Chains A and B, each alone.
Chain A
Amino acid sequence: MTSIILLSIFGILNLFMGFMRSNKVLLPGAMLLLLAVFGANLADWNVVHAPYFNNMLVVDNYTVAFTGIVVLTTIVLLPFSRSYVVAGETNLAEYYALLLFSLVGAVMMIGYNHLIMLFVGIEILSISMYVLAGSSKRDSRSNEAALKYFLMGAFATGILLFGIALLYGATGTFVLSDLAGAVAAPENASLQPMLYIGILMMIIGIGFKVSAAPFHFWTPDVYEGTPTFFTAFMSTVVKTAGFAAFLKLLAVALPGAQGFWLPTIQAMCALTLLLGNVGAAVQTSTKRMLAYSSVSHAGYLLIGLVASRGNLTGDAASGIFFYSLAYSIATIAAFGVLKLVADHRQRDDYAALNGLGKTNPLLAFSMTVAMLSLAGIPLTGGFFGKFFLLAAAAGQGYIGLVVFAVIMSMVGLYYYLRPLIAMYLRPAEEGATPVPVDGIQTATLALLALLSIVLGIVPGFLSGIL
C-alpha cells in the first residue's frame, strides 16, 4: 500500500522535476525515488496488514515479493535511458512519470483482492505502455507498434471484462476470497456453463497480456517496433505482474474449478513453449528473437501455474517468484546491451553483435551471462528458476509436460548461443569502434551479471520464501 501511494506521489513529483528543464537531474532523481519505494516495500515484509479499502487490496508477503521484483527491475532499467538524456529528449520527465504510474498499475495487479482492482491495475499498466510504445513519434515502426499494441490490448480487455461479467453472473461476487466459496457452492451448480465460459474468457484476456500462445501473435511485432528501452520494461514488468495476477486469480478465486482450468492451462503451456521456441529459432533480428524468447518464458511460467494447483504458497509459487526474478534480471541485461549496441551501430540483427568480444569485453560478458541465464545453463539464476518450476511440476506428476519443457529448452540453447557466436567468433566490421558506455551503465551491467551468477550459486536465500 505504501508503495502505491509513494509511486503515485513520486510520479507527479517527476512531472514537476521536468519543469527544471535539466535532464541530468531526472535520471538520478527517478532512480532515488524508486530506491525509496523499494525500501518502503521491503519494510512490509512479514508485517501483517488488514486488507485495504473494504477488502479490495491486500498487502502480504506475496504482494511484497512480486512488487520487489517489478520495482527492482525498473531501477536497473533506468540507466539505459542515458541516450535520451544525452540527446536532450524533451519528454524525458513524462517517460519516467509514465513508468512510475505504470508501476502503480503493476502493484495493483499483484496485490488485488477484488476484480475491480485487477481491471483497473491492468488498464493503468496497459494505457501507460500504449503511450510509451509510440513514444518515438516520427518512427513509423514505433507508430505501428503502438497501434497494434493498443488495438490488441483493448480487444483483450474487452474479452477479460466479459469473462468477469459472466463470472459475476454465476457467483454474485467480485471479491477473490468469496469467489472461491461461491464457485464451489451447490446453489450455483446450475450456472456452471456460464461460469466456465467466464473463466475461459478471463484466461484468454490475461493470456493476451502475458503473451501466452495462441494469443502471442502481437508480441514480436510490438516488441520489435517499440523503442528498446520500453521493450525491456514490457517484457519484464508487464510479464511479472501479469503472472502474479494470473496465479492469484487461479489459486485464490478458482481452486474449485480446477478440473476445468488445469487442462486449459496445460494445453496453453505446451503450445506456448512450442511456438515461442520454434519462433525464436528462425529469427534473424536479435530484438525479435528476444521477443519470441519472452513468449517461450511465458510458457515456462505457465508450468508453474499448472504445478501450483491452486496454492498461493509452496514450491510452485516460490518457483514462479524465483523464475520471474532471474528472467527479469537477465532480460534487462540483454536488452540493455542490445540497446547500447544498436544505438551505436544502427542495426539490431545478430551481425550487429559481431566482434563485440574484442571491442567491448564488458558488454559481451554481460550479454553472455544474460543469454546463459535465459537458456538455463547451470551457475546462472535461470537454471535454478527452471529447476524449481520443473521440480514442482514433476512433484505433482506432470512428467510429460516436464519432458516437453526440457526438450524445448534445448531448442532454446540454439538461438541463445547465436549472439555468443557473433560476439566471440565473428570478426567486427572494418573500422568498428567500441560502443560508448558510461559509468553508471557499466556499474549496472556488472551488477546484473553479478546478480545472475549469485542467484545461480546460492539460490537458497531467495528460493522457497513464499
Chain B
Amino acid sequence: MDQTIPEVIRTVPLQYYVFFASALFAIGVTGVLVRRNAIIIFMCVELMLNAVNILLTAFSAYRADPNGQIFVFFIMAVAAAEVSVGLGIIVMIYRNFQTTDVNLLSRLKW
C-alpha cells in the first residue's frame, strides 16, 4: 500500500473516467433542462461541475501534470462562492413568491 494517489488513480483505465464523467455531466445537463424546481436545477449544475472535477483529476494523473488538480481547487472555491450567491437569490425569490418553481416565474416572457 505504498502507492501514490496518482498511481492509484491510474489503476482504472482512463476511458472509464471519461465515460463516467460524461455520464455524470449528461445527467446534470438533463436535470437542468427537465426539472422545474430552482434548487434541483442548481444541484444539477453542481453535478456538472463535479463531473468536470473528476475528468480534470483523471487527466491530470494520467499526464503526470499537477495543473489539472490545481484547476479543481479553483473550481471548488468558485463554486462555493456561486452557491452562496445562488442560494441567496433563491431565498429572495421564495420570500417574494412563496415558491421555487421556475414555471411560475413568468412575469417576463421566458
Question: Which A positions have Cβ atoms within 8 angstroms of B?
Answer: 115-116, 119-120, 123, 127, 130-131, 134, 137-138, 140-141, 143-148, 150-151, 154-155, 157-159, 161-162, 164-166, 168-169, 172-174, 217, 220-221, 224-225
Given contacts A123-B78, A147-B38, A147-B90, A165 and B55 within 8 Å (CB-CB): yes
**Is there a chain A Cβ closer than 8 Å to B96's Cβ?**
yes
Q: Which residues of B contact A140 (CB under 8 A)?
A: 96-97, 107
Smallest Cβ distance from B63 to chain A, in angstroms?
A: 5
Taking chain A's interface residues, is the majority helix, strand, or loop, or is none over half, making it mixed?
helix
**Is there a chain A Cβ closer than 8 Å to B74's Cβ?**
yes
Cross-chain contact A147 with B93 (CB below 8 angstroms): yes
Cross-chain contact B86 with A150 (CB below 8 angstroms): yes
Q: Tell me the complex Cα distance, A140–B104, Å.
A: 12
The residue in chain A whose Cβ has the minimal distance to the Cβ of B49 is: A158
Question: Which B positions have Cβ atoms within 8 angstroms of A?
Answer: 18, 21, 25, 28-29, 32, 38, 41-42, 45, 48-49, 51-52, 55-56, 59-60, 63, 65, 67-68, 70-71, 74-75, 78, 81-82, 85-86, 88-90, 92-93, 96-97, 102, 105, 107-110
Partner of A131, one of B18, B75, B85, B97: B85
Q: Tell me the complex Cα distance, A164–B53, Å.
A: 11
Taking chain B's interface residues, is the majority helix, strand, or loop, or is none over half, making it mixed?
helix
Q: Which residues of B contact A148 (CB under 8 A)?
A: 105, 108, 110
Cross-chain contact B70 with A143 (CB below 8 angstroms): no
Cross-chain contact B90 with A169 (CB below 8 angstroms): no
Q: Tell me the complex Cα distance, A75–B74, Å.
A: 31
Cross-chain contact B48 with A172 (CB below 8 angstroms): no
Q: Tell me the complex Cα distance, A143–B92, Å.
A: 7
Cross-chain contact B38 with A151 (CB below 8 angstroms): yes
6 closest Cβ pairs, A-B complex: A158-B48, A221-B108, A165-B55, A161-B52, A169-B59, A154-B45
Q: Tell me the complex Cα distance, A383–B29, Å.
A: 41
The residue in chain A whose Cβ has the minimal distance to the Cβ of B71 is: A116
Cross-chain contact B59 with A168 (CB below 8 angstroms): yes
Smallest Cβ distance from A139 to chain B, in angstroms?
A: 9
Cross-chain contact A127 with B45 (CB below 8 angstroms): no
Q: Which residues of A contact B59 (CB under 8 A)?
A: 165, 168-169, 172
Given contacts A144-B107, A147-B90, A158-B49, A169 and B18 within 8 Å (CB-CB): yes
Interface centre among B18, B49, B86 (most CB of A within 10 A): B86
Q: Which residues of A contact B48 (CB under 8 A)?
A: 155, 158-159, 161-162
Cross-chain contact B65 with A119 (CB below 8 angstroms): no
Q: Which residues of B contact A172 (CB under 8 A)?
A: 59, 63, 65
Q: Which residues of B contact A158 (CB under 8 A)?
A: 25, 28-29, 45, 48-49, 52
Partner of A145, one of B18, B74, B82, B108: B108
**Given contacts A116-B70, A123-B78, A150-B86, could you give 20 more A-B pairs where the C-beta distance is less than 8 Å?**
A120-B78, A123-B82, A130-B85, A134-B89, A146-B93, A147-B38, A148-B105, A148-B108, A150-B89, A151-B32, A159-B29, A162-B52, A164-B52, A164-B71, A165-B21, A165-B55, A168-B59, A169-B18, A172-B65, A225-B108
Q: Which residues of A contact B82 (CB under 8 A)?
A: 123, 127, 154, 157
Q: Which residues of A contact B107 (CB under 8 A)?
A: 140-141, 144, 225
Cross-chain contact A162 with B85 (CB below 8 angstroms): no
Smallest Cβ distance from B47 to chain A, in angstroms?
A: 9
Q: Which residues of B contact A123 (CB under 8 A)?
A: 78, 81-82
Q: Which residues of A contact B38 (CB under 8 A)?
A: 147, 151
Cross-chain contact A137 with B92 (CB below 8 angstroms): yes
Q: Tell me the complex Cα distance, A235–B89, Å.
A: 21
Q: Tell me the complex Cα distance, A151–B25, Å.
A: 16
Q: List 30 A-B contacts (CB under 8 A).
A: A119-B78, A123-B78, A123-B82, A130-B86, A134-B89, A138-B96, A141-B108, A143-B93, A144-B107, A145-B108, A147-B38, A147-B89, A147-B102, A147-B105, A150-B85, A151-B42, A151-B102, A154-B45, A155-B45, A158-B45, A158-B48, A158-B52, A159-B29, A162-B51, A165-B56, A168-B68, A169-B59, A172-B65, A220-B109, A225-B107
